[in-house]
Amino acid sequence: MRIATWNVNSIRTRVGRVTDWLVRADVDVLAMQEIKCKPEQFPRVAFEAAGYQLELHGLNQWNGVAFASRIRAEDVEIGFAEMPEFKDVAEARALGATFDGVRLWSLYVPNGRTLEDPHYAYKLEWLDRLAAASAEWVSNEPETPLALMGDFNIAPLDTDVWDMAEFVGATHVSPAERQAFQAFEQIGLTDVVRPLVPTGYTYWDYQQLRFPRNEGMRIDFILGSDAFSENVKAAEIVRDERKGEGPSDHVPVVVDLDW
DNA sequence: ATGTCGCCTACGAGGCGA
């Protein structure tokens, strides 16, 4: 089974690129983030014509998560237990589904904005609650392969940004965010891509020629349970998808499972 | 260069979010 995650930054703008890549890369299940639309606005026809079914969760022009798959989705879940709200809204940032016995979550972690912003406290709380929910999933069904996939908006290592000097006092690299990321490892959800792809970014800002200068960040991850990780046979960060006309600012991250 | 995108409202251009 070939599984991928991709922050598409508006599916309505990106539908051609995404469906072309899905077919070309022979992907079975794609977790998308930032679809930036309601389900009724999602460009379904192009995906269905390419042979993909859809599970969608979008409330408005912000956030939005989804799955496109050649495999039927089962036990679809919107949000997770005790997921925090922001300004009294449970935002569209988490969607779970099971594909051929593999439990996957498409996740768009809050950005945080600045260290002083209420959005930053929300980010940390959101991660903390996700870790608590994940610990339950793992302990309840340790034999079920489980992966958390998406845009974590955290650069866990100094080498995951182009220049740490640019990130003094910024979000994405703070000790609290990195600790929140490490908490997943402590409950048995480990980065299944890093061992196979030790270096490389997954995101480059549109501004300031970040991509041509290769000034990027590694913030998109696939964290697998033991039952998931032991079946991973290959992984890839598809840097080429940042090139050409109308790219997302993020690229796909892919794993091949022996499943 | 506050240097780019994408979505909204509402019809021009500004606001928000990343």
Tokens, residue A155: 């650069």
Residues 192-211 in A having a C-beta less than 7 A from any atom of strand B are 205-209
**Strand B within 7 A of A110 CB:** yes
Smallest CA–C1' distance to B18, residue = A111
Distance CA(A28)–CA(A22), nearest Å, equals 8
- Find the Å distance, CA of residue A205 to C1' of nucleotide B3: 12
Residues 129-188 in A having a C-beta less than 7 A from any atom of strand B are none
Q: How confident is the model at residue A71 (pLDDT cuts 50, 70, 90)?
A: very high
The whole-number pLDDT of residue A193 equals 98
Tokens, residue A92: 């569209």
How many residues are there in chain A? Answer: 259
Handedness of CA A32, A157, A175, A230 (dihedral sign): positive
Tell me: the pLDDT tens digits for A97-146? 999 999 999 999 999 999 999 999 999 999 999 999 999 999 999 999 99
The residue type found at A88 is D
CA nearest to A44, candidates A11, A13, A17: A11
The whole-number pLDDT of residue A249 equals 98
The whole-number pLDDT of residue A63 equals 98
The whole-number pLDDT of residue A154 equals 98
Tell me: the pLDDT tens digits for A200-255? 999 999 999 999 999 999 999 999 999 999 999 999 999 999 999 999 999 999 99
The residue type found at A112 is G
Q: How confident is the model at residue A96 (pLDDT cuts 50, 70, 90)?
A: very high
Tell me: the pLDDT tens digits for A155-187? 999 999 999 999 999 999 999 999 999 999 999
- According to DSSP, the residues that pair with A203 across neighbouring strands are A217, A250
Q: Helix or strand or coil: residue A136?
A: helix
Distance CA(A15)–CA(A4), nearest Å, equals 16
The secondary structure of residue A250, as a DSSP letter, is: B
The whole-number pLDDT of residue A144 equals 98
Q: Which nucleotides of B are covered by protein (CB under 7 A)?
A: 3-8, 17-18
- Find the Å distance, CA of residue A62 to C1' of nucleotide B13: 21
- Report all structural domains of chain A as residue ranges with CATH numbers, in order of start: 2-257 (3.60.10.10)
Name the nucleotide with the smallest C1'–CA separation from A12: B6
- Find the Å distance, CA of residue A59 to C1' of nucleotide B15: 20
Say how many C-beta atoms besides its own lie within 10 A of residue A206's C-beta.
11
- Find the Å distance, CA of residue A169 to C1' of nucleotide B3: 22
The whole-number pLDDT of residue A4 equals 98
Cβ contacts of residue A208 below 8 Å, gap of 6+? A215
Name the nucleotide with the smallest C1'–CA separation from A91: B17
- Find the Å distance, CA of residue A208 to C1' of nucleotide B1: 10
Handedness of CA A43, A153, A244, A257 (dihedral sign): negative
Tell me: the pLDDT tens digits for A11-59? 999 999 999 999 999 999 999 999 999 999 999 999 999 999 999 999 9
- DSSP letter string, A78-127: ES-TTPPPBTTB--S-EEEEEETTEEEEEEE-----STTSHHHHHHHHHH
**Strand B within 7 A of A119 CB:** yes
Q: How confident is the model at residue A150 (pLDDT cuts 50, 70, 90)?
A: very high
- Find the Å distance, CA of residue A259 to C1' of nucleotide B15: 47
Tokens, residue A153: 């908006």
